[in-house]
């Protein structure tokens, strides 16, 4: 491959990146695209603050070289909270007290979003598994679990409402 | 700036790799490599991305074996029906290799080639009697997994060779497998001790016993004395106790940042004991 340009999609938009192919996705998101919602904690895959979705699956953007996003879809916390579902998830974090300093929050929101897309009614164990790769030094996790549970319950309630509306039509 | 090659065919990759002028190193999920590059603030001059090569991906049954492409992620392995049926211990360990973010990227070929004494799939492959298919300029060759790790971080890979796939014999009717890993916490902890058992249990008797252990020696190792002790026996509490003591006695682990030799030996013994008890409890009638 010529080192010229790497085509990929970023939050739904087609992009061509023409910098260093082994640059970390994390740095390119923050410095080249100005998407600073994605945080750097450890820089070695342990903390999950840099979590983004690659073709819908959570990955650590600190461990993805740019050449491997070629022809793939990258979704960051900015993209994943721009729609109604994402906004509701963020709202649940605020209401449940799942945010303190906020350093871990974008990564956890991304992991939680990926979980809810796969499994709209996760139990406690499944939520714990999904955020197992995200460290939080402040909250003690309880309120994060509560926030994800609340967002899931709200989604199910909305779905039930929508179904009722459909059937009463 | 680094030169990057993204071949689609394996033959092309081998050619590029064999050409000293390119000097490219193979990359897969980069969960080991990018940590190293970043901490040393350096990048290789040339890389060869294996993730685009179709022939290195996927899970199939072929010639009496389960074949897993080197670039298959642990996420895919952990969720595969075929792996669950024929190598449940491998599926189980796949779900403990880092958290989701790591499992989505980390490949089995990368785990094997990285050759860490704490690599989690390695002892499981030993216990399952796996083979590796290596691809190089001279074509493919198959090596028994137990002949692959030749020394601390040394492998049987020749220059210009890649790991193409892993072969695991299909599980027979009486197959039994178990694996236990002990780390600092549940999510993404490097193993202090990991041990796996593979055998058959016709009529409840253990045959073809293989035990692989990791983090207790410079390479993953078979516990041959313990295997011999168990071979042909019907497991019970007494045998479990003796097997645990034997396992603890036959390894020479070291003290390092993650643990101490004494702790590792003790835990290994307890884990082996537990696996033999498992084998007794779930005995086929
Ligand atoms: C946070 C975190 C947690 C982790 N937890 C665990 C854990 O619990 N257990 C564990 O065992 N590991 C763990 N790891 C280590 C790592 O994820 C695994 O070793 C992984 O399987 C490496 O695969 P990869 O595809 O990312 O390899 P890469 O980083 O791409 O490559 C690793 C090495 O293998 C070589 N290579 C890759 N593929 C091939 C091939 N087909 N043929 C020849 N050479 C090849 C590369 O040249 C390189 O030298 C963890 C890593 C991180 C960052
Ligand atoms: S910054 Fe990527 S996991 Fe910590
Ligand atoms: S809120 Fe501070 S690290 Fe999680």
The per-residue pLDDT for B187 is: 63
* Interface probe with B: pick from A46, A52, A56, A106, most Cβ of B within 10 Å: A46
State the distance from the centre of ligand 1 to the C-alpha of B244, rounded, in angstroms. 31
Q: What is the pLDDT of residues A104-136, one digit of tens each?
A: 999 999 999 999 999 999 999 999 999 999 999
| Distance from C-alpha of A137 to C-alpha of A101, rounded to nearest angstrom | 9
B147 part of a folded domain: yes
Residues B9 and B100 in one domain: no
CATH number for the domain including B84?
A: 3.30.465.10
B205 part of a folded domain: yes
Mean pLDDT within B229-233: 98
The yes-or-no verdict on residue A151 having pLDDT over 70 is yes
- CA–CA distances in Å: residue B219 to residues A56, B42, B61, B158, B269: 36, 28, 29, 18, 18
| Distance from C-alpha of B114 to C-alpha of B255, rounded to nearest angstrom | 21
B284 part of a folded domain: no
Residues B22 and B77 in one domain: no
Residues B13 and B83 in one domain: no
CB of A26 closer than 8 Å to CB of A61: yes
Tokens of A103: 């350093």
Residues B165 and B180 in one domain: no
* Closest residue in chain B to residue A64, using alpha carbons only: B30
Q: Which of A39-43, A80-84, B111-115, B254-258 has the lowest mean pLDDT?
A: B254-258
> pTM for the complete prediction?
0.95
The per-residue pLDDT for B13 is: 97
Residues B249 and B213 in one domain: yes
CATH number for the domain including B275?
A: 3.30.390.50
Residues B263 and B189 in one domain: yes
State the distance from the centre of ligand 1 to the C-alpha of B16, rounded, in angstroms. 21
A–B CB contacts, 8 A cutoff, strictly below: 90
Nearest C-alpha neighbor of B100 from the set A90, A93, A113, A120? A113
Question: B110, B145, B169: which is the final residue of a domain?
Answer: B169
The per-residue pLDDT for B279 is: 93
B285 part of a folded domain: no
B117 part of a folded domain: yes
Structural domain boundaries, residue B63: 56-169
Buried b (16+ CB within 10 A) or exposed e, A95-107: ebebbeeebbbbb
Total number of domains constituting chain B: 3
Per-residue pLDDT band for A60 (boundaries 50, 70, 90) equals very high
Residues B162 and B251 in one domain: no
Q: Measured between CB atoms, does B207 come within 8 Å of chain A?
A: no
| Distance from C-alpha of B161 to C-alpha of B52, rounded to nearest angstrom | 17
Question: B169, B202, B217: which is the final residue of a domain?
Answer: B169
| Distance from C-alpha of A118 to C-alpha of A141, rounded to nearest angstrom | 21
Residues B86 and B137 in one domain: yes
Residues B77 and B149 in one domain: yes
Question: B146, B169, B192: which is the final residue of a domain?
Answer: B169
Residues B161 and B223 in one domain: no
| Distance from C-alpha of A21 to C-alpha of A19, rounded to nearest angstrom | 6
B208 part of a folded domain: yes
Terminus-to-terminus CA distance in chain A, angstroms? 56
Mean pLDDT within B235-240: 96
| Distance from C-alpha of B181 to C-alpha of A104, rounded to nearest angstrom | 28
Q: What is the pLDDT of residues B165-224, one digit of tens each?
A: 999 999 999 999 999 999 876 666 788 899 999 999 999 999 999 999 999 999 999 999
Residues B65 and B165 in one domain: yes
Q: What is the pLDDT of residues B199-211, one digit of tens each?
A: 999 999 999 999 9
Terminus-to-terminus CA distance in chain B, angstroms? 64
Smallest CA separation from ligand 3 atom 4, residue: A136
For a ligand 2 pocket test, name from A25, A29, A39, A40 the mutation site with the most ligand atoms within 8 angstroms of its C-beta. Answer: A40
* Interface probe with A: pick from B44, B101, B114, B185, most Cβ of A within 10 Å: B101
Give the gap in angstroms from C-alpha A151 to the nearest C-alpha of chain B.
Answer: 21
The torsion angle over the Cα atoms of residues B84, B86, B89 and B90, rounded to 10 degrees, is -80
Residues B159 and B61 in one domain: yes
Give me the residues paired with residue B139 across strands. Answer: B136
Helix (H/G/I), strand (E/B), else coil: A126: helix
B222 part of a folded domain: yes
- List all residues of chain A from 15 to 54 with a beta carbon under 8 Å from chain B: 20-22, 24, 43-46, 48, 51, 54
| Distance from C-alpha of B77 to C-alpha of B235, rounded to nearest angstrom | 30
User: Does A68 sit within 8 Å of B30, measured CB to CB?
Assistant: yes
The per-residue pLDDT for B4 is: 95
B34 part of a folded domain: yes
């Amino acid at each position: 491959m010529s080192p010229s340009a790497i085509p990929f999609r970023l939050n739904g938009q087609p992009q061509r990146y023409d910098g260093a192919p082994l640059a970390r996705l994390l740095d390119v998101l923050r410095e080249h695209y100005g998407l600073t919602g994605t945080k750097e904690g450890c820089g070695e895959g342990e903390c999950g603050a840099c979590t983004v979705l690659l073709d819908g699956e959570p990955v650590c953007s600190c461990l993805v070289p740019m050449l491997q996003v070629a022809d793939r879809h990258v979704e960051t916390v900015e993209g994943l909270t721009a729609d109604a579902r994402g906004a509701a998830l963020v709202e649940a974090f605020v209401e449940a007290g799942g945010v303190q300093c906020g350093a871990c929050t974008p990564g956890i929101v991304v992991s939680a979003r990926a979980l809810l897309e796969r499994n709209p009614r996760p139990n406690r164990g499944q939520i714990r598994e999904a955020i197992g790769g995200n460290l939080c030094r402040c909250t003690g996790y309880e309120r994060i679990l509560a926030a994800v549970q609340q967002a899931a319950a709200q989604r199910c309630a909305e779905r039930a409402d929508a179904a009722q509306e459909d059937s009463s039509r | 700036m680094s030169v990057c090659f993204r071949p689609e065919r394996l033959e092309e990759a081998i050619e590029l790799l064999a050409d000293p002028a390119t000097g490219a190193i193979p990359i897969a999920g980069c969960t080991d490599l990018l940590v190293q590059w970043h901490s040393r603030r350096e990048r290789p001059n040339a890389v060869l991305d294996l993730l685009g090569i179709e022939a290195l991906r996927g899970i199939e049954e072929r010639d009496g074996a389960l074949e897993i492409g080197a670039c298959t992620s642990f996420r895919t392995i952990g969720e595969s029906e075929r792996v669950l049926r024929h190598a449940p211990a491998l599926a189980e360990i796949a779900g403990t290799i880092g958290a989701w973010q790591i499992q989505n990227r980390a490949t089995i070929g990368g785990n094997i080639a990285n050759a860490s004494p704490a690599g989690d799939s390695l002892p499981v492959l030993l216990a399952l009697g796996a083979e590796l298919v290596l691809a190089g300029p001279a074509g493919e060759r198959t090596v028994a997994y137990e002949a692959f790790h030749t020394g601390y971080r040394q492998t049987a890979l020749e220059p210009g060779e890649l790991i193409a796939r892993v072969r695991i014999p299909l599980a027979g009717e009486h197959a039994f497998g178990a694996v236990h890993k002990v780390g600092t916490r549940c999510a993404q902890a490097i193993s202090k001790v990991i041990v796996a058992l593979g055998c058959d249990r016709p009529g409840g008797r253990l045959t073809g016993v293989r035990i692989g252990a990791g983090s207790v020696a410079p390479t993953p190792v078979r516990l041959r004395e313990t295997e011999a002790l168990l071979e042909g026996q019907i497991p019970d509490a007494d045998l479990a106790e003796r097997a645990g003591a034997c396992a603890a006695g036959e390894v020479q682990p070291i003290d390092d940042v993650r643990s101490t030799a004494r702790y590792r030996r003790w835990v290994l013994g307890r884990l082996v004991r537990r696996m033999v008890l498992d084998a007794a409890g779930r005995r086929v009638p």
